[in-house]
Amino acid sequence: MSTQDLEKNIADLESSALSAIAKADSLENLEQVRLNLLGQKGELTGILRGLSALDKSERPRIGQLANVVKVKIEEAHEARKEALFQSHIDSKLKAEALDVTAPGRIRALGHVHPLSQIREEILSVFYSMGFEVADGPEIESDYYNFDALNTPASHPARDEQDTFYTNLGANVLLRSQTSTVQIRVMEKNPPPLRIVAPGRVYRNEEVNARKYPLFHQVEGLLIDKAVTFGQLKGTLTAFIQALFKKPLKTRFRPDFFPFTEPSAELDSQCPFCNGKGCKTCGGRGWLELLGCGMVDPNVLKGAGIDPEEWSGFAFGMGLERLAMLKYGVNDIRHFYTNDLRFLEQF
Amino acid sequence: MKVSLDWLNSDYVDLSDLSHEQVAEKLTMGAFEVEEVTVHGSDLEGPVVVGEILEIHQHPNADKIRLTRTRVKAGDEPLDIVCGAQNIEVGQIIPVALPGAKVVNRHDGSPLPIKASAIRGVKSNGMLCSAAELGIACDDKFGEGILVLADKDSPKKSGFTLGADARELLQIKPDHIMHVEPRSNRGDALCVAGLAREIAALFNRPLKQPTWNLEQYENKEAKVGTIYSVKLENEEDCPFFSLIPIKGVKVGPSIPEISKRLEAIGVRPVNNVVDITNYVMHELGQPLHAYDAAKLSGSSMGVRRARAGEKLTTLDEKVRELTPEVMLIVDDDTAIGVAGIMGGKDSEISDSTTDIYLEAACFSQAVVRRGSRLLGLSSDASLRFERRVDVASVFHAARRAAYLIAHYCGASGPAQVGKAMMAGSDKVSDVFLTLRLSAVKRLLDIEVTAERVRELLSPLGFKVEAGESGQLKIAVPSFRQADVTREIDLIEEICRLNGYDAIAATMPKGIVCRQAKDDTLVKAQGALVGMGLSEAWCSSLVPASENGINEDYLVQVLNPLSKDHQYLRQSLVPGLVHALAHNLDRGQKKVALFESGRVYFKDWEEPAPDNKSDNRQERSAKLFAKEINRLAAIICQADKQSSEKADFYTMKGVLENLLSGLAISLAADKVNWQAASVPGLHPFRCAALALNRPPKKGSDHSDKVGIFGNPMVLGYVGQIHPSYAHAMGIKEEAFVFEIDLDRIGAERKAAKFSEIANTPSMVRDLTIDFSKEVLEKQNDINHQNIVRLIMRSGSKNLVDVQLVSVYQSEGAAHTYRLTFQNPSETLTGEEVDNLVKEVKSQLTKQLNASFRA
Ligand SMILES: [Zn+2]
């Protein structure tokens, strides 16, 4: 083949190859075009192989010419391949389109009981103030439930009709208050003390929307040197504000409990209306939340703590009452019926 | 207790410039919570004016009705007003309700609007009013006829201006009734005078006293009935008893002032004598009782305990069966009343009574309370005795009542009050307390001076005297000697009267926390909720019929509310089964619940200890029963189409997951699963999880309390027995587990890092065949034993064995995936092959397994 023919072939090949590459409409076609040109038996490969038959003087020039064409074809091929790949991906992605508003595939979570939730919230707040969690038996003696709490045998609270007595002995009952734990803790541990004690208590009361023969309390006790009534006010106000996550005002109303003196009922500014008055607080703007007071010297003495050296305060609150207020539950029996339609709301 | 603001204000403490809200607020913040304030006597509306009757004519069409011409404004033409009352006369000044007014219907107390209307054909332009119609008294018998303000010739007549507002003149204005419940230790404030003392102190105002003088009616010679002495069985039951004879009363309705006050606080007027005993009880807090002297025949009245079987008909006309726990008033020996609670029917005051005995006494709080509970009978009197009456004030109240009876109930002129008979003593010795001002400062963190203490406490009857430096000597009044006995009680009074608000809120100093919060329960809740279970709280008081109750160790309530709340539970499972049934009944398809809580057993190690031990350490260490913390769960899938299955292995998986989450090792060298038998569960679908070795502490072993009697058992998992499910109305298969949280808590291990091996691991699948014959002969072929044998014979380089599948036809084929790895060097294929060979040979030797070629 003459040099001129060869040059023409190369030029023809360039234009036909570029047009074939441009026409390839799929990655498969493009690959076939590439093989036809650049494969082992490809046209350009054949031409390059034929160079050896040329005159030595012509070889570098034609060779360079062929190489330039080869690079051009390769570049065109790469560009075309890239474009085809992109459009392939695009159409594949399009085919994979989802209804993103359709629901997620879940395994339903369960729900923690509202009384557990409120108990945990209360304990966490007090834990952050340095109170330890303490525990005591529900089956108690009248000593811990009454005598040690400065409640003499003649006190109306000791009427048999209010307390459940057991077959374990004339003096063994189901505790009617978690205050029992105060005494057991004080007897076992030297002051200073800071404890909170959650637990179940029992009272012999007819079942209705507000009352159930068992319910739950959280009791607290702080004993230290120079504990004052002002510290009681400060601690419980901080607690209320942390529990409701609002800077609520509190009001301490004088009351009477046998085991604290002075005693108080703590009213919180209603967190639902910020004190303006609403259904929850009966329009009063205040909610009665817990009972508290300075530990009576008789109680300290009975537990072996010198009331001239130490002083302290105690408080107690009902979980059901707080949960009913917080969640707007109108019937205490919901807490023990365990209807999923109730539990799943929390 | 209901207290009339009007009564307080007019007799005891001037509150006229204060609103009822202000008084209620002050009382509430002063330890006397006002639960409610109601309005009494506000029924009167519109024009009610002063008028004068100018003429009276017979009604042309009716006998009993007359026609008046009444002037209601000077200079105006008189109005025609029809009137049915018989007591009207020309020239009288009377109250007139004009059209547009609303008065009280004297028959039923309902509002009665006044209109100009025709009565039997004669026009009437208003109404002449009786006391009842003005709401002064509720019943017409107290205000028979028109209320005459002034008679024709009365010199008072000139003081009236025709047309003036009659309400203002008669001071008919609404009264506010406060509902106050004094605390149980404040019996002294359970009356108008006592509460007035508190109000006077809280507002720092003077306390007034009504004035009266009994001497003028006393006649030591006045003879009444047969009784001439009083006597007491013992002075513990009744420290003081007094009886005042009163001669010459006429029983009838009370004066409006008294009946109005009683009605305002919800006490029904009975007759003038009984009303006065009630009146003085509400005024001074001292219960009183009046006997018809003619109905008694003994020579002495006394107090004694009842004899067993004795009977008495009380004022409420019920026959009371008495016991020696009840105290009686006796006429010689005949019971005439239950002391401190209720009088007897036979000696009550009637319309024909002329001479009476007025009893006032102080009875034991405890005896009255016990008697009241025993008889199921409580009264305003028993309520007050239970809260304590002040023995030193008894006779004062008796004299007050005697004065009122003599003054208002005399038959002709005042009645005569005879010589009082008394037994016991009403003397109270002085009680002095020492108050250190430093103690006030120490507890309340407020500075008070001796002068301030005197200012605060004197109005309540305390006498404050200066003592040593910084100390005050304080005399406690008799009526506070029960609740103020120590320095701290005085500090409380100072705190209360000075105001709780006056103490600034501060924070305690220092931090005390010895122990981190136990997170076992919170972790468990998190894990179970994550697996789709919701938390239940069930009752720990259960019926006797509850499944799985062990009678020997049962804690029983002796005075249960009902049969459903008679025993303390011994397992959490029955409560969850109830909850499951409840939810299935209400159409739930999938129910998954758990509960953590206590179960209760009578102590099987030692008898209940005597709690009167004086050693505090010993006493507080002793418990009366075993209270064990458990956690249980139940799942049930009623929807057969659902992809979320619930079977035995689902439940076992939940339990294993939970335990892993609590860092309990389930490795074969720590724990094992055993087929188990638990009452209420499927006999072939129940397994117990137990420790391989006994725990370090806890030897509380008793087979009688069931599966947990073995201290190594951590819990069990199983299916509810179909017959138990059936009895509960549950048609589906339900699965439960129950674990001992105390034991679990003790086994929890802190996480510990072990080096991660970098050498490659090699995996071999091994299918083990057991022929039908082998399976029949050997009952120890189960997953747990196969895995244990593989692990034992696979050397320490066998690091994991997983069950891939079990195929059962004639025999059984178990496929396991074995993972080998040596952390320090790479194992060769040959080494692994040899290990597998050893595993196979042990399986063949010990379990008669065979292997395919
Ligand atoms: Zn509110």
Q: What's the Cα-to-Cα distance from B471 to each of A294, B465, B696, rounded to whole Å?
A: 22, 9, 59
* Mean per-residue pLDDT over chain B, rounded: 90
| pLDDT (0 to 100) of residue B40 | 81
- Condensed to tens digits (0 to 9), the pLDDT of residues B416-456 reads 999 999 999 999 999 999 999 999 999 999 999 999 999 99
Number of Cβ atoms within 10 Å of the Cβ of B606: 8
Contacts of B210 (CB under 8 A, 6+ apart): B11, B12
Element (H, E) at B814: strand B812-820
Which of A164, A174, A237 is facing B505, going by the closest CB pair?
A: A237
pLDDT at B638 over 50: yes
Residues of B in contact with A118 (CB under 8 A): none
% of chain B at pLDDT higher than 90: 70
Cα A276 to middle of ligand 1, angstroms: 6
Which is it for the CA torsion B607, B621, A187, A238, positive or negative? Answer: negative
Residue in this structure with the two tokens 């004190």, named with its chain if needed: A275
Q: Token pair for residue B21?
A: 């809200």
Q: Given an 8 Å threshold on Cβ–Cβ distance, is A205 in contact with B445?
A: no
Alpha helix (H) residue ranges in B611-766: 616-621, 648-661, 722-727, 741-747
Provide the 3-class DSSP secondary structure of residue B278.
helix
Report d(CA B133, CA B375) in Å as an integer: 41
Q: What is the DSSP letter of B146?
A: B
- Of B132 and B533, the one with more pLDDT: B533
The predicted model gives B651-664 an average pLDDT of 95
| pLDDT (0 to 100) of residue B609 | 53
pLDDT at B596 over 60: yes
The predicted model gives B676-685 an average pLDDT of 94
| pLDDT (0 to 100) of residue B613 | 62
- Condensed to tens digits (0 to 9), the pLDDT of residues A54-106 reads 778 888 888 888 888 889 999 999 999 999 999 989 999 999 999 889 888 88
- A65 touching B, CB under 8 A? no
Name the least confident of A288-292, B121-125, B839-843.
B121-125
Q: Which residues are B687's β-sheet partners?
A: B675, B717
pLDDT at A309 over 90: yes
Residues of A in contact with B492 (CB under 8 A): 261-263
In B, minimum Cα distance to A202 occurs at: B541
Number of Cβ atoms within 10 Å of the Cβ of A304: 13
How sure is the predictor about B606, in pLDDT bands with cuts at 50, 70 and 90?
low
Distance from CA of B283 to the nearest CA of A (A): 24
The ipTM of this complex is: 0.85
Residues of B in contact with A296 (CB under 8 A): 488
Which residue of B507, B564, B588 is the best one to mutate when testing the A interface, meaning the one whose CB has the most A CBs within 10 A? B507
Q: Please choose, from the candidates A248, A272, A252, the residue with its C-alpha nearest in 3D space to the C-alpha of residue A315.
A: A252
pLDDT at B699 over 60: no
How sure is the predictor about B376, in pLDDT bands with cuts at 50, 70 and 90?
very high
| pLDDT (0 to 100) of residue B142 | 46
Which of A110, A204, A294 is facing B443, going by the closest CB pair?
A: A294
Q: Please choose, from the candidates B271, B694, A9, A38, the residue with its C-alpha nearest in 3D space to the C-alpha of residue A30.
A: A38
Rg for chain A, CA atoms, rounded = 43
pLDDT at B762 over 90: yes
Distance from CA of B342 to the nearest CA of A (A): 20
How sure is the predictor about B640, in pLDDT bands with cuts at 50, 70 and 90?
confident
Residue A234 has, within 13 A of its CA and on its CB side, a CA count of 16
Cα A231 to middle of ligand 1, angstroms: 27
Contact between B302 and B278 under an 8 Å Cβ cutoff? The reply is: no
Provide the 3-class DSSP secondary structure of residue A157.
helix
In B, minimum Cα distance to A303 occurs at: B616
Report d(CA A215, CA B647) in Å as an integer: 34
Element (H, E) at B288: strand B288-292
Cα A205 to middle of ligand 1, angstroms: 28
| pLDDT (0 to 100) of residue B797 | 93
Q: Which residues are B803's β-sheet partners?
A: B816
Residue in this structure with the two tokens 């369960």, named with its chain if needed: A110
How sure is the predictor about B607, in pLDDT bands with cuts at 50, 70 and 90?
low
Which of A166, A296, A303 is facing B555, going by the closest CB pair?
A: A166
| pLDDT (0 to 100) of residue B306 | 95
- Condensed to tens digits (0 to 9), the pLDDT of residues B24-64 reads 999 999 999 999 998 887 667 888 999 999 999 988 888 88
Pairing type for strands A193-202 and A132-133 reads parallel
Residues of A in contact with B504 (CB under 8 A): 230, 233
Number of Cβ atoms within 10 Å of the Cβ of B729: 10
The predicted model gives B644-658 an average pLDDT of 94
The predicted model gives A303-314 an average pLDDT of 96
- Condensed to tens digits (0 to 9), the pLDDT of residues A10-59 reads 888 888 889 999 998 888 999 998 888 888 888 888 887 877 777 788 88
Which of A137, A235, A296 is facing B627, going by the closest CB pair?
A: A137
| pLDDT (0 to 100) of residue B151 | 87
Distance from CA of B581 to the nearest CA of A (A): 10
Pairing type for strands B79-83 and B66-71 reads antiparallel
Report d(CA A239, CA A268) in Å as an integer: 11
Number of Cβ atoms within 10 Å of the Cβ of B763: 12
Q: Given an 8 Å threshold on Cβ–Cβ distance, is B598 in contact with A335?
A: no
Report d(CA B455, CA B247) in Å as an integer: 46
pLDDT at B764 over 90: yes
- Condensed to tens digits (0 to 9), the pLDDT of residues B223-246 reads 899 999 999 999 999 999 999 999
| pLDDT (0 to 100) of residue B168 | 81
Contacts of B486 (CB under 8 A, 6+ apart): A297, B433
- Condensed to tens digits (0 to 9), the pLDDT of residues B703-726 reads 667 888 888 999 999 999 999 999
Which of A192, A205, A338 is facing B593, going by the closest CB pair?
A: A338
Which is it for the CA torsion B382, B383, B389, B393, positive or negative? Answer: negative
How sure is the predictor about B550, in pLDDT bands with cuts at 50, 70 and 90?
confident
Contact between B538 and B558 under an 8 Å Cβ cutoff? The reply is: no
How sure is the predictor about B365, in pLDDT bands with cuts at 50, 70 and 90?
very high
Which residue of B183, B367, B443 is the best one to mutate when testing the A interface, meaning the one whose CB has the most A CBs within 10 A? B443
Q: Token pair for residue B601?
A: 């057993």
Contact between B549 and B567 under an 8 Å Cβ cutoff? The reply is: yes
Residue in this structure with the two tokens 């239970």, named with its chain if needed: B386
